[in-house]
Structures are given as C-alpha cells and as structure tokens.
Structure 1
Amino acid sequence: MKKLILILLVFVSLVTQAQNPTLFEEANDAYANDDFETAIAKYEEILANGETSVATYFNLGNAHYKLNNVAPSIYYYEKALQLNPTDEDVQNNIEFARSMTIDDIPVNEETGFQKSFNKFISTFSYDTWAYLSIIFSVIFVVLFLMYYFSRRPLVKRTLFGIAIFVFLLGGISVFFAFQQQEIQFNNQFAIIFSEEAEVKNEPSQRGEAAFMLHEGTKARILEDYQGWVKIELSNGTQGWMENNTLKRL
C-alpha cells in the first residue's frame, strides 16, 4: 500500500500575513498529536475568518485524509491547488486521495495548441500573473526614466529596446491574467460529497436515472436550475444532480 507523504506546510510568510499564527499553530499541534478533529475545527475557524492559504487548505486535506474522509480531503486539496497549481506536495497528496474514490472516470485530454496554451497559463495563478504585470510595469517605468535622462545615444537605444521588451512582457502578463481568470470563471467545478448520488437525464425527481456517482468525484458545473445542477464529467458525460449532493470549489 502506498504511503501518503503528509507534510504540514508551514509557510512563515503566509502564516504571518494571511492568517492567525496562533490559531494556525494550535491546529498544527493538534494535528501532530493525532487529534485530527480538533485540527480540522481550528483550520476551519481560520477559513471562517476569511483567511486563506495553501498551507491551511493542504493541512485540512491531510487531516480529512487521516480520518478517511474522501470528499473533504479531495475538496481541500483542490482548493489549495486553486491558490498554487504548481505545488508538488499538494499534487502528490491529491493523487493518493483520488485513489480512494470509487468512480474511475477517464479524462478526455485536450490536444494541440490549445492544450499547450492552457497548460502554460495554468503554470501560475491569476494573482501571480497580475503581480508579474505590476513588476514588469515598474521595471518599464525605471528603464524609461533612465532612457529619458541618458545623454549617450547608444545607451538610449539600448534602454529603449529593453524598455519596449519589458513593456510587451507586462502586456502579455496582463493578457494571461485575464485568460486565467476567464478559465476559472468558465470552468466551475465541484466535488461530490454524497456517499452515493444519482445523476438524472433531466432536472426533476421524475427524471430517469442515467448513472450513479460517489463521493470524491470531481465534476464541472454547466448550469443551475431550481435546486438542480447540470454537470459534466472528465470523459464528457453529462447529467443533472441535486445541488445538495455536491460542494462547489
């Protein structure tokens, strides 16, 4: 049996800037003492205060995994990846959590340029692309001022060329930031929380059952209708579920 690497991510900068350090430390202590219920309660209290971080979501996922709570563990790992899609610890642990799910649904992979483009944009989150655009903008202003006050023609041409290049990088970062935001808004996902949930061919209790899904399965939200949601699985299969059977990311 594969051994899950459960590492508590204690990012000092995140703890001090984005969350209550005392409460986070208490939650970590409870986790270290195998008191996972208390740890979960304290991590959730941090989130209830509007304070989020990769570390909090990751540790919540770990605590739920220890208690064999399949859906919550996958849900919080997914939330951590929303903040940092490249975090290897989260990527590794979510694969272990997914191995506990019942539904084995194949993925229809994107192909060609669109796949490469989306993969590249997903390298960073929306916030990171936005920060990069700000950094490039500041560098551009500095280079432009140096160009403006320089008296040597060769230096001026060099600075102007570099400034234009940095300006283009800033513009590209802004474009990628909006593309990443659009991808996130147009691709709303949810995790099935019910132990077993019926998927119907129409948004009604009288609708014919199409298939069953189980806790921990990830689905894309396509439409909302009077307490029902239309979902799409990774293999393209669609159907309607009651809204209370899943939790949106």
Structure 2
Amino acid sequence: MKHLFYIMALLFSTINFAQNNALFEKGNTLYNQGRYNEAIDAYKTILDSKNHSAELYYNLGNAYYKLNEVAPSIYYYEKALQLAPNDADIKNNLAFAKNMTIDAIDAIPEGGVSKFIKSTTNYMTFDGWAKTSIVLVLCFVVLFLIYYFAYSTLRKRLAFMASMVSLSLLAIVLSLAFHKFNLDKSNKPAIVFSQESKVKAEPNLRSEEAFILHEGTKVQVLDTVKSWKKIKLPDGKTGWIPKEDIKAL
C-alpha cells in the first residue's frame, strides 16, 4: 500500500510539473503577442498551485511593467530577486520599474565594513550558503582522509594545508549563513500598493499625518496593531500605514 502511495504521489507531481510547464510556455507566448493581462493570468495559475521560481516572478514583473502598473511590477521583481539575488536582468528591470515611482527616498549610508559584510552575506540565499558549507565539509573530509592515508610527506603536507583551508572557509561560510538567516528573519519588506497612502504618526485615523507614500515604494514592516502596520523607510522615517495599502514580500 505504501509503494502505491509513493507511485501515485510521483505520478501526481509529474503531471503537475507538466501542467505548470505548459502554462508557463502559454504565458510566454501570450506575453510575446502583447496580451499581457492573459499572460499574467497564466502565470498566476502556476502560483495558485504553490509553485514559484525566479523566472516566474520575473516574467510577472515584466508583464505588469508593460502595463505600466508600478507596484505589482516592483513587487514581483523583488520576489524574483529574493530567489536569484545576483541576476543582472532582474536588477536592471527592477531599476527601470523603480524609475516610475514618485517617492524619492535617500537611504542612510552604511559604513564601509558593515556594507561589505552585508553585500557579501546577500551574495547568496541562505540555502546557497548552506549548500556551499556542505560542499566544504565534504572537501575537508576527503582532504583529511588523503592526509591520513598518504605515504608521501609532501602529499601529507599539501593535503593537511588544503584541509585546513577548507575548514577555515567552512567557518566563514557558516558565519555568513547564520548572518543571512538573521538578516532574513529581521527583514520584513513590503511594497506600497495604494496609489497614495497617508502615513500616520500613530495607529489611528485621528492622529496627525507623518508623510505620504505612493505606489511602488518599498518599506520595512516593524510592527502590527490591528489594521495598521508600523513601517520604516530607508531614510529612517517611521509611521503607521493601513495594512491594506501594502503587500508584504
């Protein structure tokens, strides 16, 4: 009975993959024909089946960009960038989409060391750093075995030095992996979807207006109180925005 279950699960996943692949190709065809709304529907059908990829989010961003819909295009480019942080095409198209936003917000400059550590940490996803650490563990084990069983003094020396290098790199990669995990845990970005949103000083309609944001602006979510979200801008400003005005990444 268990074997039958595994076979049925494998068959279902194969059929699901084939259907999603067909939908993805259909979406691409519709996009190339300039039928962007229909392409979006095809891509979103794939998302509804709980399947996602950088390519899918990237194509959704492109389709919304063609329709001049600022917030959705930025949102899906950002989603694509989360899965493929080093993709040049995604970064370029995201930059084009951000040029359509109204709000000009200057980020607080970071120090040289902290900026370098952050950029290095964000070079890969947490999964990427974890996989790299596994590779380094295997390298260390193989090199240490070579060192242990080698008869030649030169070979022993080289294997030992290489194993120590692997171990040192492993320590660095593990540190970056944990740092990336903590960054992702504290990072709660969202995109403003409302065409214009009045950000309040406190989480109620009676409080004074702190500032105004427009669609496509990226914010950090700090807290939630009922139907309000406390947000922070790259320049350090904070305020409360109605939760329906933003969409979390």
Task: Kindly state the Cα deviation for residue 125 of structure 1 after the two structures are TM-superposed.
Answer: 1.6
Consecutive aligned runs of 4 or more in structure 1 exceeding 6 Å deviation: none
User: C-alpha distance in 2, partners of 1:46/1:225?
Assistant: 33
Task: Kindly state the Cα deviation for residue 209 of structure 1 after the two structures are TM-superposed.
Answer: 1.3
Contact 1:198–1:213 (CA under 8 A) maintained in structure 2: yes
**Residue in 2 that maps onto 1:163:** 163
Describe the superposition over 1:29-64 as per-residue Cα deviations: whole angstroms up to 9, x where unpaired.
111111111111111122222222111111100000
Task: Kindly state the Cα deviation for residue 216 of structure 1 after the two structures are TM-superposed.
Answer: 0.4
Look up the SS of the partner of 2:138 in the other structure.
helix
Corresponding letter in the other structure for 1:26? K
Matches within 5 A, 1:111-122: 111-122=111-122
Corresponding letter in the other structure for 2:102? I
**Residue in 2 that maps onto 1:61:** 61
**Residue in 1 that maps onto 2:74:** 74
Task: Kindly state the Cα deviation for residue 154 of structure 1 after the two structures are TM-superposed.
Answer: 2.3
CA RMSD of aligned residues (A): 1.7
Describe the superposition over 1:156-209 as per-residue Cα deviations: whole angstroms up to 9, x where unpaired.
122111112112212211211111121121121100001111100001121111
2:202 is equivalent to residue 202 of structure 1: yes
Identity of aligned residues (%): 45
**Residue in 1 that maps onto 2:140:** 140
**Residue in 2 that maps onto 1:222:** 222
The normalised TM-score by structure 2 is 0.89
Please say which structure displays the higher CA radius of gyration.
Answer: 2
Task: Kindly state the Cα deviation for residue 69 of structure 1 after the two structures are TM-superposed.
Answer: 0.8
Task: Kindly state the Cα deviation for residue 18 of structure 1 after the two structures are TM-superposed.
Answer: 11
Corresponding letter in the other structure for 2:27? A
Is there any run of 5+ residues in structure 1 with no aligned partner, and where? 1-16
Contact 1:18–1:52 (CA under 8 A) maintained in structure 2: no
Is there any run of 5+ residues in structure 2 with no aligned partner, and where? 1-16
Q: Which moved more, 1:230-239 or 1:48-57?
A: 48-57
Corresponding letter in the other structure for 1:97? A
The normalised TM-score by structure 1 is 0.89
**Residue in 1 that maps onto 2:233:** 233
Contact 1:19–1:52 (CA under 8 A) maintained in structure 2: no
**Residue in 2 that maps onto 1:99:** 99
Matches within 5 A, 1:16-55: 20-55=20-55
Cα distance, 1:188–1:18 mapped onto 2, change above 3 Å: farther
Specify which structure has the higher proportion of helix: 2
Corresponding letter in the other structure for 2:97? A
Matches within 5 A, 1:165-180: 165-180=165-180
User: C-alpha distance in 2, partners of 1:238/1:66?
Assistant: 32
Cα distance, 1:111–1:81 mapped onto 2, change above 3 Å: same
Look up the SS of the partner of 2:163 in the other structure.
helix
Contact 1:108–1:234 (CA under 8 A) maintained in structure 2: yes
Corresponding letter in the other structure for 1:87? D
Corresponding letter in the other structure for 2:66? K
**Residue in 1 that maps onto 2:90:** 90
User: C-alpha distance in 2, partners of 1:246/1:205?
Assistant: 17
Corresponding letter in the other structure for 2:234? S
Corresponding letter in the other structure for 1:218? K
**Residue in 2 that maps onto 1:3:** none
Corresponding letter in the other structure for 2:129? W
Task: Kindly state the Cα deviation for residue 143 of structure 1 after the two structures are TM-superposed.
Answer: 1.2
Task: Kindly state the Cα deviation for residue 20 of structure 1 after the two structures are TM-superposed.
Answer: 2.8
Look up the SS of the partner of 2:141 in the other structure.
helix
Corresponding letter in the other structure for 2:112? G
2:236 is equivalent to residue 244 of structure 1: no
Look up the SS of the partner of 1:20 in the other structure.
helix
